Amino acid sequence: MKLSVALFFAGLFGALAAVFILVSFGTDYWLLASESCQMDTPDNKTPGNSSIFYHEGFFWRCSFGGGDGEDSIWKFWITNQPYLKECVPAYLFPFPVSDQTHNATVYDSAIIYRGFWSVFVLLGVTAVILAGFIIICAAPFASHCLYKAGGGLFLVSGFFLLAATVMFVIWLEVMNVVDLYEIYKNTQCSGFQMSITYGLSFMFAPVGVFFCLLAGLLFLLIGRTVQLHCH
């Protein structure tokens, strides 16, 4: 009876992990950002403001023009998101997509960093999908090896996706790519302002990782228990 309850919760946690991970890494709202630029006008007239909003994920980065740049990012996304967007593939492209820094070494390092992040994402998502198929094939207490294999893949997926999530935070908070971009834009536009926040896709990632690790531990425990009972 206790083993059946453990299997139920392990399956539930595994399903939740798969859902959160696929939604998180399959959508393009890891990063929400806005740029506003004060445009100088001739004849000393009142300068105009132009703003650009964009979001990015693993597959795509989409950008579009906004209002006057005074609204918050979240308010813009909820109430005033346009239908027309310009989207480009985000795979292996460092942030931001449209302007490269003048330092080629920094740019190349950014591509290598994003390359590792992309590999971790692919391995983690692939592992969680394989784990789900293996657990389904295990059937109720049929094979302790399959339960252990599924649990191990859940753990591997959790560690890879946790590493990818931490790398994304380091990318924005620690590395100076964003600072270099702001310095570069300030040379082109007076009064340049930039606002960055994490999107819902990013927020789903830690939840998926938590359920993934929990499901992996439970399936390993179930596999060991089934093995002991068989002997």
Average pLDDT of the chain is 78
Other CB atoms within a 10 A radius of the CB of residue 222 amount to 24
Check pLDDT > 80 for residue 164.
yes
Look at residue 190 and tell me if it is in a domain: yes
Domain count for the chain: 1
Query: Residue 32 sits in a domain of what CATH number?
Result: 1.20.140.150
Task: Please check whether residue 64 is in contact with residue 53, taking contact to mean a CB–CB distance below 8 angstroms.
Answer: yes
Residue 227 resides in a domain:
no
Query: Which pLDDT tens digit goes with each residue over 124-152?
Result: 999 999 999 998 887 666 677 888 899 99
Q: In whole angstroms, what is the distance from residue 225 CA to residue 184 CA? A: 59
Does residue 230 fall inside a structural domain? no
Tens digits of residue pLDDT in 36-77: 777 655 555 555 566 777 788 877 777 776 554 445 565 555
Domain presence at residue 206: yes
- Read off the pTM: 0.79
Question: Do the domain assignments include residue 229?
Answer: no
Contacts of 11 (CB under 8 A, 6+ apart): 135, 215
Question: Is residue 228 domain-resident?
Answer: no
Task: Count Cβ atoms within 10 A of the Cβ of residue 124 and give its class: 0-12 exposed, 13-18 middle, 19 or more buried.
Answer: buried
In the sheet that 31-39 helps form, which strands lie side by side, from edge to edge?
Answer: 86-89, 60-65, 48-56, 31-39, 190-198
Residue 228 has pLDDT above 60, yes or no: yes
Range of the domain at 45: 2-222
Structure confidence at residue 171 (pLDDT): 81
Which band of pLDDT confidence, cut at 50, 70 and 90, is reported for residue 14?
Answer: very high
Among 34, 87, 57, which Cα is nearest to 205's?
57
Examine residue 22 and state whether it is found in any structural domain, yes or no. Answer: yes
Whether residue 231 lies inside any domain: the answer is no
